[in-house]
Amino acid sequence: MVDNNVSMNPGEVLRKRSLTDEVYDYLSNRIIAGKYSSGDWLRQEDISQQLGVSQTPVREALDRLVASGLAERVPYRGVRVPVLDSKEIVDAFISRLILESEAVRLAASIISPQQIKNLSKLVDKTSGLVSLEELSTLRQVNKEFHAKLVEAADNPLLSKLYEITTNAFPDWMLYEYMFRHPELLQASLKRELNEHQSIVEALSKNDPQMSSYHVANHIKNLWHDLLTHLEFSKTSREATEHQIEIIYQNYFSHK
């Protein structure tokens, strides 16, 4: 449910951009900040009344939340903050590791200077997003960065598969965790920035192996971040690490 204690003036908050954009940002910020918990329902009528807007922009914002992976639609019940079991998270991680690594491997040989420039701009943009209040924007920019990496492979089907996979990968939980543990924020953002810079540098050299390796290493680190605050059984952890080892042996044994 929407927090009725929140203090806001709808006329001020929802003025500058489209209502759908503002409602989406408001809800995504609250999910990342942990104001909604996993399984909490996002009731269209409640949110509409809380923000003082019609239900149309709320419905459109909820659709965007579902598409971005920040919410899930349950048939005949509505939209809620995702409830993911460990197997779903592991499956999404392994799929993303394979798809994105392979996409970047393909992209390295054909990526254009303009695409490299665009990726560099996104990396530079993230370097200025360093506060808790900017985590939602940071997540969106990072999502765009990784989508552009895959798009550079010039394979629409691969991009579509990647979109489905990345929407199932709960990276929003990482941002929620950082919001609740601000002492970890700076170190995490610095590491992420360095990893993104390494990916772009390898692509600029048209090096398929190193480009793919840096992407795989980055995603593997995201997985280890998830392990720090999500509960996984010992069996699940060991099975996942075994799969990671196999992928690295197949892809990078001759690095």
Domains of the chain in sequence order: 10-80 (1.10.10.10), 86-252 (1.20.120.530)
SS3 4: coil
Nearest to 56 by CA among 24, 29, 103, 11: 24
Sequence-distant contacts of 32-35: CB under 8 A, at least 24 apart? 32/70, 32/135, 32/136, 32/139, 32/172, 32/175, 32/176, 32/179, 33/132, 33/135, 33/176, 33/179, 34/176, 34/179, 34/180, 35/3
Per residue in 214-236, pLDDT tens? 999 999 998 888 887 777 778 87
Whether the per-residue pLDDT at 86 is higher than 90: the answer is no
User: What stretch of H or E contains 182?
Assistant: none
Q: In angstroms, rounded to a whole number, what is the distance separating the alpha carbons of residues 179 and 167?
A: 21
Q: Are 31 and 81 in contact (CB under 8 A)?
A: yes
Whether the per-residue pLDDT at 21 is higher than 80: the answer is yes
Q: Are 123 and 190 in contact (CB under 8 A)?
A: no
Per residue in 136-188, pLDDT tens? 888 889 989 999 999 999 999 999 999 888 888 888 888 888 888 888 888 88
Please report where in the chains the tokens 């992928």 appear, as a residue.
247
Q: Report pTM.
A: 0.78
